Amino acid sequence: MGLNDSSPGAMRNGRGLSDQWAESVVVRPRTTERHITVHKRLVLGFALSILTLIIVTAVAVVLSVRFEECGAPDREGATGESGSRGSGGSAKLNGSKGERTGERGDDEAVQPWRNSRLPGSLRPRHYDLRLAVYMDNFTFSGEVSIELECVNATRFIVLHADRLEGGAGGRPVNRPGGGAMRVHRHFSFPANQMYVVVLHRELKPMRVYRLNVSFDAAIEDELLGFFRSSYTLQRERRYLAVTQFSPIHARKAFPCFDEPIYKATFSLTLRHDPQYTSLSNMPVESSSLSDEDGWVTDRFARTPRMSTYYLAWAVCNFTYRETQTDSGVTIRLYARPDAIASGAGDYALHITKRLLGFYQDYFKVQYSLPKLDLLAVPKHPYAAMENWGLSVFVEQKILLDAEVSSSSYQMELTMVVVHEICHQWFGDLVTPVWWEDVWLKEGFAHFFEYVGTDFLFPKWNMEKQRFLTDVLHEVMLLDGLSSSHPISQEVEQATDIDRVFDWIAYKKGAALIRMLANVMGQPLFQKGLNDYLLSHMYSNAARDDLWSKLSQAMRSEGRDINIGEMMDRWTLQMGYPVVTISKNQSEQLPTHYITVSQEHFLYTQEVRSNNSLQWQVPLTVAVGNTSAVCLESLIWINNKTETHRVGQMGDNTWLLGNINQTGYFRVNYDLQNWKLLIQQLHTNPQIISVGNRAGLIDDAFNLARDNWLQKLHTVCFLAEACFNDICATFIRKKTEERNRKQGNTNKHPQNIDYVLRQVASRYHQMGWPTNGPGSESNVLQASYQTEELQRELIMLACSFGNKQCHRQAVAYISDWISSNKNRIPPNIRDIVYCTGVSLMDEDVWEFIWMKFHSSNAVSEKKILLEALTCSDNTFLLNRLLNLSLTSDLVPEQDVIDVIIHVGRNPQGRNLAWKYFREKWDVLNARYGEALFMNSKLISGVTEFLNTERELNELKEFIQFGGVGAGPALPRALEIVEGNVRWHRLHRRQFYQWLRKPPGPALG
């Protein structure tokens, strides 16, 4: 991304950062003091709704601008700012309602407010923000005093303020002591969410000024900015208000420089009704009670330097539990009083204490704040948000009821907490310069979900096994599409920011970091991360800053690898290669040479011939035979085709590439090597690790798309050779993928027989769990992987119609209804609920609906709601769809999940697809600004479309109705086109193959 910037420290592509911007500002001593005071009042509007008798006081903003020279900047304010600054390109707009035409001679040809980025002439050093929060009518008023440093002489003050307009005109304003400065004009520019003050005289470089703004605004019901939520306690409705500022919503709550590079310190004061508690990033420094109205004023300690989107506050009447680390950090978990009383937050509190110690030891950098609060809110647009010192979680991702929560739920909760705590370093302490490199924080946090969970529960084997099925295999499906994109994307407009928050950033970022960690080795990887964090703490960094520190760590051990040159191929290009390894077939070379080639892997065969992409591939190779595997070696592949020497090989020696799938690429072999590998797995599979077996299955399955019938036997044999929890997960996911292409294959006898043949013996061998709620056999024990395998087998057996599985599920539901005691083991409740709803009558659906509303356990409510989408009754499915969007009965953040799960139900696919198109405008208006929401919804309702009619409907929707959907629609179109193509070319042959008895692999 080329940045148009004339300010000191400008860089290209958001990379190669230093402290140039900060170091270019040298504050000179002054002998005179200047005061510039500007007052104005902005009135946004008042709307009176007669029908509801509710006055919505939107925003009446009083903007008071006062500039004072504040002395030389201290070293904290003057240094440590790194990164590129720039405008990022023209918005290409024709003006807006709030813009007023300037007079001749204004010298405003540049018009910085028309650029999508702030101009960089001014930078904030400190915000003093004072708020009064009125929970009775959901409004707040505030004043913010921003200490500004002038970098380049300018007459323009440009900052962010969403929906704020003003109008005191160009009146002169007196300041105490005499003297005046005229405001030439001022206006809002809504197209870029900016507010502009044009002065008569320039602000001087290397001087510090102060800007004061007063405002009133509403605490919105939407899920972004400063919004409200509610819950019921003892039949009383209670309210709370909380912030969600990432990525660009701090400007909804106060005027600010709302870009990550503009780090500053914050002092926050909150005034509120005494029945509430206020929270923020830092501890309360002082608290006072007003003699006049009895209200409380809490002043919070000054924060470290941080970006605006990590500022956070909340006003609630929650209670808390707390603990303390050995280093003295206080950790509190705030939640509804009944949840705290039941101990639902204790588990998260316990692992957070352990995780702070783990990250401090791993990164060799101390946690920076004196406290860390975890806030569990009933309504939130995301699983969680890593605000520094005040991380906010939706209740489902942090509250755990040990009596009813499954091991899967507990594992998911654990990983969310691990993710957010990692962000206290990667994100909060060191922040990406700009959103193009958001993967620098999200990829690290996603990778450490598995590393940190392995620290908590080593026997789960998360990084070596679960990472493969949940991260690597998932993202390679997306990244193998021609509609994919590089992990580092250009971002110019605010509307572009949403598209960089996708699974490519999170999961591909995690996979690339894992690959790099394995290439470097853990000691050097940790050394590089330590140097990176220490060099850029309280500041910003871009990808080249990371590559530089990791390269330095490698050179310290005599390994001269240019990490930046290597990783640019992986971050600036889309996709990944398939590496083909062939034993030497030439008489001119001995048998210990192999030929290795790379090619861009794409599922759409038609576009493959046009690709010219190459990668620097760290290929690990091992040579083995029936009894042993030699030590692996690392080969760097830089060209399309290369020849390399490996260990001595004979006719019965096989090659294995990409050991444990640490590399982000697929591996193919010559036909003879495939046969040797399959023979090895058939006779003695333990020679090859579980991770390698999973990699072989996934590569074979995806490479088989070129020739399904040749490779299907290979996949079948490989699956039988490594049947454990990871392979059961693989079979389930590939069955779902096959369903997507073929339609409702669960109803085809051949498909039923095939899947049941794969799982029947292991299903009957493992049986059903016998432990009830409260048993010691839970996720904290080493039995987790066994439980997961058992769960996967039951899920497959029930979904494909195993009679014994159906009888057991129905018996459990019937017992629950008759006794009103739920004896269903927590680990399989979701399977039993879904199976019961799909097989039994409407009364069971009503029973589950009633239990959904009466349950207080958030994990139980989640699976009860999903079970309602399993019905075969289209009337009930339609009813659920309409209730979810038009009533308060379904939590707002769960509406999209309801639509998606209805779409995954073969009986509900058409209903969900039709409902999605009819309600798109409503859904987009409600969730369009929330990251992930639209892309999650679009992929969820379209992934099972596979007919020409549905493909045409999707094309029509894209052409005429999908406004605001972003890049999710082109990706969905490519997937559906692939489904239709497979359906047309392979479906008949596939069912002929299913009818045949199993034969030898590869024919």
Binding residue ranges for Zn(2+): 419, 423, 442
Distant-in-sequence, close-in-space partners of 966: CB < 8 Å, separation ≥ 6: 498, 499, 934, 935
Return all residues near 58 (Cβ < 8 A) that are at least 6 apart: 44, 45, 46, 47, 163, 217, 218
DSSP letter for each residue of 132-144: EEETTTTEEEEEE
Round to whole Å and give the CA distance between 471 and 468.
6
Tell the residue number behind the tokens 């950098």, with chain if given: 365
- Phi, psi values for residue 206, rounded to 5°: 65, 25
Which residues define the annotated binding site?
Answer: 419, 423, 442
Q: What is the C-alpha separation between 475 and 510, in angstroms, rounded? A: 10
- 90: Cβ–Cβ under 8 A, 6 or more apart, which residues? 114, 115, 116
> Contact, 278 vs 272, CB < 8 A?
yes
Structure tokens at 173: 């304003």
What the block records as the tokens of 496 is 């572009």
Residue 275 burial by Cβ neighbours in a 10 Å radius (0-12, 13-18, 19+): exposed
3-state helix, strand and coil shares in percent for the chain, rounded to the nearest 5:
45, 20, 35
Task: Fill in the DSSP letter of residue 997.
Answer: P
Q: Cβ contacts of residue 328 below 8 Å, gap of 6+? A: 370
Instruction: State the Cα–Cα distance between residues 122 and 568, nearest whole angstrom.
Output: 32
Q: Phi-psi category of 88—alpha, beta or left, where left has phi over 0 and alpha has psi -120 to 50?
A: left
E-strand ranges in 462-616 read: 539-541, 577-583, 593-600
Strand-pair partners of 6: none
**CA–CA separation, 10 and 151 (whole Å):** 12
Indicate the DSSP class of residue 89: S
Distance between CA atoms of 359 and 366, rounded to whole angstroms? 8
Please check whether residue 336 is in contact with residue 306, taking contact to mean a CB–CB distance below 8 angstroms. Answer: no
Which positions are catalytic? 420
Give the pair of three-digit tokens for residue 153. Answer: 């002489």
In eight-state DSSP terms, residue 481 is S
Residue 72's closest CA among 35, 12, 28, 11?
A: 28
**Residue whose entry in the numeric block shows the structure tokens 């004009």:** 185
Token couple for 349:
């509190």
